[in-house]
């Protein structure tokens, strides 16, 4: 018996990627598709690659439209999910792809998002310590941010094993789809092609407290994060270069052993063989994560680097993975593990 | 019972894409993987995205290595397939992704490829008139070239319906993966990013006689082809802009009706709604084809435009589609129909 | 004594490129800079690469602001130039980078632009037969469209020499800056990177009548044009692939000789050596034009291909070149002839 | 009286960019052009954008070929410059664009480059404290590496003013031209487009000791450097994200004042207004440097970010700037300061 899924916010990049994945999911039947400003339009005009759904028309995001589904995915602007979720029954699995329910600290939420805190839901990153247990059978899931997904997977093993000082320095490059589909001058192809530029520098990016939350939980102590995001001339992909000072006694061998153990049973996270480094092309369009780690003895630092597809594992793939766990389906069901490369 | 498939030439782009698709094919078990200069290497070093096969080691392309499979895919340099195919029994399905067995005219072959003609196999473009019948039960398949796939699908309906004069003018843009993986200066990222350039201008590109063969067969008369390929700053994708003078009586409505009929039952070819045009991003990584057609009354020409992924529908996807038909499997089995966009 | 130049419409791509060129022009002093919706803003916020002008503030486009200059460049939306030009005296050199004064046929104008025809000014493509003479001493210049620049330079020699049948088929790829700086969904980096797509297919692109005008003038008879523009994943550059049936007696040698003669004395147009083809990277940021021509005997067609930078030779460079001629300055003054490659 | 300049290694990207700049330099006359494997070839075949030099033929790199010039630029593989330089007289200005004479510490050289140390020449980064004085009248110049140029300009003000702890963490993204023109599989357009990937991770990149040398000199104490280079999908440009712990008492205001003072009189380095961040597109093809700095109070770190064109300011532009100073010419002569954007 198929899982009937609704998608609120089907016209954006996250919604489109989710539909691409759900169309290939053997247990999912796609139900209502809603939008706001795009309600009334054919999906084919908005998402020309989703040919099997081309003639579906977006409805408005109302409780009526979303009723009668087993799963409702929310791909809404920040701050809008709570109102919609409240009107869905407690037995419906609600998966929020926005930020609203990710943070445990209300003050962090208010400082970075500027609105009242709506609460905290089980966090959809099963690879974190205790992550799967929190999702099994849950009826509410907060899908992680794309940068926190990449960064947390790169660094949590070092922190969980006590190998790193609690001051992480992170520089990440993201494809432009991470900035969404609303047209803005600095996101024009003419501006981004051939150019790298930073944004949200100096601790102001909204994903910073989420990284601190995840790494601190792994470390068992407060970890500070210096995070610099950069915009790269590509549509998709995040490459996160993360480092922290190594604690005494860390060696390249102990570091590698720690990471091997952390990811040994993970279906989507691949610690690359020594000498090979992550590339976003390798995970393009898939739920796979590539990780590699090095010990810079001269500088006394651990360097952990991960590559994900920001729209797949970083958003829609992570959402489907969490849905599978929450519903008791096989975790990998319907999720591509091989990137479209070259 | 699974279909056991060997891939000769697993280190190139065509071989890599084929393996990506075969890994997702529910009826295929991947057997021998061979290479020539790369024999002895781990596949993980050559195709870092194919993580499930990372530890497979390429063997040499020998009859022994390829024996014992139901299907053997040949992704070899031009001119090498015949010698390998001869040593495979008549009951093995051999699918040649090279050019060796595409052309019916030996003189054409010799003029464009400069070596003796090896023969002609059933042609793996099922969408052409009579195309499926030629493949059903066949033990040999010649996979079409990437440009001829895009061009033939764009123009054959017009020719089959007698709407166009037999002089086609074609300009196509291809992603760089179509030029293969052998490092050459003009294929460096530094050269191709930010640049469009033509090559093989003036009727000398090897895919020209294959287009002439397909369009002439559809038209029932000799069609001349002026073909200009261009290299575009993208990894994948072909956009083929094809035109011919309209014959008397052609109207926009009759043209559209002809194309609607031609593709009505095709699982992979999508005639777009009026006003929407093909984009290679929409078919990236998929076996889908987008087609649109227009009638330029002032210039008296039919303009038909198609978008494919050169490595998928243009090579490896076309190969799997043909395999499915030849083996009596559902034609769409294991083939993605939705592009990875944006 | 410096030429004092004002730029109306300094916030767009054409205006920005013009200012880049004027800053390097030894005889020009940059005067008023105006904008409409951006009036009141620092230029540094709008054109971050124009560092020497970063602190200049855009004024409104008024007669007062533009008064007192030797040259006024208009980089305005279509249909706005006439009203501004009227208020500038007859002794001021007015160079319109928009379409308003390019077409001689009022009906063509009205059909393609949908507004009353404002008139016809001397046409700023000096390489055309008689082109320089029309500009010398002129006080009004209509800068050609970017596509017509590329196409006319590729094909006029064949038409002027009577070598080609009067039915041209043109497919051109343009960088996204040609579509301007107003944010639109289909121009987002996420959409255009990795994708080729056509637009304005079937004879509806506004540059079509301008090409017909130029080629017909060269041919001495009406030339029909089938024009298909495509959007390429690059910021700048146009590659125009142009063809027409060869008239009887045309040979590769006669064709080459014709083109050699046509461009022998041209400072910016380079007929490439045989075997070498134009690439947009080679002319990136420069006023140079690369042209090559071939004779496809089998198809009976002449193929002429040109590469320009759409913002430089295709707009702002062409404007400065015309200014130089109109003012009696050396034609090449201040204009880069070498592309920024790779 | 013109400065006569020879270029040894004219076929690579550094040599090509140098020639582009020298062609626009009003005091330079281009003399001998040499290559090694490319000796005997037309420059037009190797550098198709350098149209004015298209018919020049590369000679072999011999003392005879290089004799009789005022300036000799060496754009040779690492380790080759010393032998050539020895044969040039002490009165010839020799500008080495390779690494051979950059490092003061012979042990560093040998550890990172694996060959005997050839010596140390005056270092061509005039913006560093004392940098100009070292170059005035010098007959030997070691042009800095591209990454050290970007990193040193971003961080030296903080270190010179004692604001930062001596442990720098740097992540830089480079365009692919920084990896040179020798064809290698991982540099193919198909591989790099749409992908970000790191390389030389963990303190092994050869530019690391050069950064340490520059930052330590500015700080007056040994500065450790953790450097991670990444390859970005663009032809040109370096974006360097550099950070270090802030020393007690640092404020955003003191930081900004320090940087304003450091660059107040610099012709090429632009400290951007607050709120604006560097973008490589803004300096594309120019000798300009964009710098911005922030104080992340929560993480206790200074973040300094710079953007350069790796081939221009990072190599050939820096070489010309140093030549101007060494010869007593105006420092900015012939050097573009405005990037080709968009």
pLDDT tens per residue, range A228-248: 999 999 999 999 999 999 999
Q: Distance between CA D152 and CA D124 in Å, rounded?
A: 12
Asked whether the predicted pLDDT for residue D1 surpasses 70, the reply is no
Reported residue count of chain B is: 342
Q: Distance between CA A190 and CA C183 in Å, rounded?
A: 10
For C22, name the nearest residue in chain D, comparing CA atoms only: D338
Q: What does the block give as tokens for C231? A: 């959007």
- Among D180, D192, D174, D191, smallest CA distance to B46 is for D191
Burial class (CB in 10 A: 0-12, 13-18, 19+), B265: exposed
- Taking only the tens place, the pLDDT of each residue in C53-65 is 999 999 999 999 9
Helix axes A317-327, A13-23, angle to 10 degrees: 50
- Taking only the tens place, the pLDDT of each residue in D273-296 is 999 999 999 999 999 999 999 999
Cα C146 vs. chain centroid, distance in angstroms?
Answer: 4
**What pLDDT was estimated at residue D36?**
85
Residues of C with Cβ-Cβ distance to B202 under 8 angstroms:
294-296, 303
Q: Distance between CA D249 and CA D157 in Å, rounded?
A: 16
Partnered with residue C5 across adjacent β-strands are C30, C71
Neighbours of A275 (CB within 10 A): 7
Q: Could you give phi then psi for residue C25, rounded to 5 degrees?
A: -85, 120
Q: What does the block give as tokens for C122? A: 């001397």
Among D187, D193, D235, the residue with its CB nearest the CB of B235 is: D193
- Taking only the tens place, the pLDDT of each residue in B105-121 is 999 999 999 999 999 99
Reported residue count of chain A is: 342
**What pLDDT was estimated at residue C1?**
63
Residues of C with Cβ-Cβ distance to D178 under 8 angstroms:
none
Q: First-to-last CA distance in chain C?
A: 37
- Taking only the tens place, the pLDDT of each residue in B302-319 is 999 999 999 999 999 999
pLDDT (mean) for C166-170: 98
Q: Which residue has the tokens 């090449």?
A: C332
Q: Distance between CA C298 and CA A234 in Å, rounded?
A: 41
Residues of D with Cβ-Cβ distance to B15 under 8 angstroms:
none
Burial class (CB in 10 A: 0-12, 13-18, 19+), A269: buried
Asked whether the predicted pLDDT for residue C253 surpasses 80, the reply is yes
- How does DSSP assign D5-37, residue by residue? EEEESTTSHHHHHHHHHHHT-TTEEEEEEEEST
Q: Could you give phi then psi for residue A299, rounded to 5 degrees?
A: -90, -10
- Among C298, C291, C163, smallest CA distance to B204 is for C298
For B192, name the nearest residue in chain D, comparing CA atoms only: D189
Asked whether the predicted pLDDT for residue A78 surpasses 90, the reply is no
Give every CB contact of residue D56 below 8 A, 6+ residues apart in sequence.
Answer: D33, D42, D43
Reported residue count of chain C is: 342
Q: What does the block give as tokens for A36? A: 């706001």
C190–A13 C-beta distance less than 8 A: yes
pLDDT (mean) for C215-239: 98
Asked if residue C231 lies in contact with residue C147, where contact means CB atoms within 8 angstroms, the answer is: no
What subunits make at least 3 CB pairs under 8 angstroms with D?
Answer: A, B, C
Asked whether the predicted pLDDT for residue D327 surpasses 70, the reply is yes
Neighbours of C242 (CB within 10 A): 29
Asked if residue D73 lies in contact with residue D6, where contact means CB atoms within 8 angstroms, the answer is: yes
Asked if residue B240 lies in contact with residue B175, where contact means CB atoms within 8 angstroms, the answer is: no
Question: Helices in chain D by DSSP H: which ranges?
Answer: 13-23, 43-46, 63-66, 81-86, 106-113, 131-135, 146-160, 189-192, 208-219, 252-263, 280-283, 317-327
**What pLDDT was estimated at residue B330?**
98
- Taking only the tens place, the pLDDT of each residue in B111-159 is 999 999 999 999 999 999 999 999 999 999 999 999 999 999 999 999 9
Helix (H) / strand (E) element for A339: namely none
Query: What angle is formed at CA B98 by the lines to CA B94 and CA B102, rounded to 5 degrees?
Result: 85
Asked whether the predicted pLDDT for residue A1 surpasses 80, the reply is no
Q: Distance between CA B84 and CA D18 in Å, rounded?
A: 50
Question: Could you give the percent of chain A with pLDDT greater than 90?
Answer: 98
Among B239, B299, B301, the residue with its CB nearest the CB of C197 is: B239
Reported ipTM: 0.97
Q: Distance between CA D339 and CA D342 in Å, rounded?
A: 9
Residues of B with Cβ-Cβ distance to C284 under 8 angstroms:
194-195
D282–C48 C-beta distance less than 8 A: yes
Cα C183 vs. chain centroid, distance in angstroms?
Answer: 22
Q: Kindly provide the residue ranges of all beta strands, DSSP E only, lying in A158-223, ordered along the sequence.
A: 167-174, 197-198
For residue B36, name the pLDDT band (cuts at 50, 70, 90): confident
- Among A181, A167, A175, smallest CA distance to A212 is for A167
Mean pLDDT of chain D: 97
Asked whether the predicted pLDDT for residue B1 surpasses 80, the reply is no
Give every CB contact of residue A228 below 8 A, 6+ residues apart in sequence.
Answer: A170, A171, A172, A198, A200, A201, D171, D241, D243, D303, D305
How far off is chain C from D49, nearest CA to CA, in Å?
Answer: 4
Q: What does the block give as tokens for B39? A: 């024999």
- Taking only the tens place, the pLDDT of each residue in D143-197 is 999 999 999 999 999 999 999 999 999 999 999 999 999 999 999 999 999 999 9
**What pLDDT was estimated at residue D112?**
97
Active-site residue, selected from the candidate residues C3, C46, C99, C146? C146
Give every CB contact of residue D292 below 8 A, 6+ residues apart in sequence.
Answer: A201, D271, D272, D276, D277, D278, D304, D305
pLDDT (mean) for B179-203: 97
Asked whether the predicted pLDDT for residue C109 surpasses 90, the reply is yes
For residue B78, name the pLDDT band (cuts at 50, 70, 90): confident
Burial class (CB in 10 A: 0-12, 13-18, 19+), C150: buried
B188–D190 C-beta distance less than 8 A: no
């Amino acid at each position: 018996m198929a899982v009937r899924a609704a998608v609120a916010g089907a016209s954006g990049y996250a919604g489109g990627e989710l539909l691409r994945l759900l169309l290939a999911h053997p247990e999912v039947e796609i139900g209502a598709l809603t939008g706001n400003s795009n309600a009334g339009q054919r999906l084919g005009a908005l998402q020309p690659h989703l040919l099997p759904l081309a003639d579906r028309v977006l409805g408005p995001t109302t409780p009526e439209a979303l009723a009668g589904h087993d799963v409702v995915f929310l791909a809404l602007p920040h701050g809008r999910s709570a109102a919609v979720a409240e009107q869905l029954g407690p037995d419906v699995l609600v998966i929020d792809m926005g930020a609203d329910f990710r943070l445990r600290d209300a003050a962090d939420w208010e400082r970075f998002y500027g609105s009242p805190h709506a609460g905290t839901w089980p966090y959809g990153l099963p690879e974190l310590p205790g992550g799967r247990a929190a999702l099994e059978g849950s009826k509410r899931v907060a899908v992680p941010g794309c940068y926190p997904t990449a960064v947390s997977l790169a660094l949590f093993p070092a922190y969980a094993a006590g190998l790193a000082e609690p001051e992480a320095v992170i520089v990440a490059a993201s494809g432009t789809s991470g900035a969404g589909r609303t047209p803005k001058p600095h996101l024009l192809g003419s501006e981004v092609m051939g150019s790298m530029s930073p944004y949200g520098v100096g601790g102001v990016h909204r994903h910073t407290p989420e990284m601190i939350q995840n790494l601190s939980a792994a470390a068992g102590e407060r970890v500070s994060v210096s995070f610099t995001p950069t915009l790269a001339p590509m549509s998709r992909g995040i490459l996160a270069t993360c480092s922290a000072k190594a604690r005494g006694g860390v060696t390249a061998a102990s570091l590698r052993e720690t990471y091997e153990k952390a990811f040994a049973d993970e279906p989507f996270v691949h610690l690359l063989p020594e000498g090979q480094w992550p590339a976003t092309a390798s995970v393009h369009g898939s739920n796979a994560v590539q990780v590699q780690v090095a010990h810079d003895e001269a500088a006394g630092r651990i360097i952990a680097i991960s590559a994900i597809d920001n729209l797949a594992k970083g958003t829609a793939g992570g959402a489907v993975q969490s849905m599978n766990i929450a519903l008791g389906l096989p975790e990998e069901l319907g999720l591509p593990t091989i990137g479209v490369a070259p």
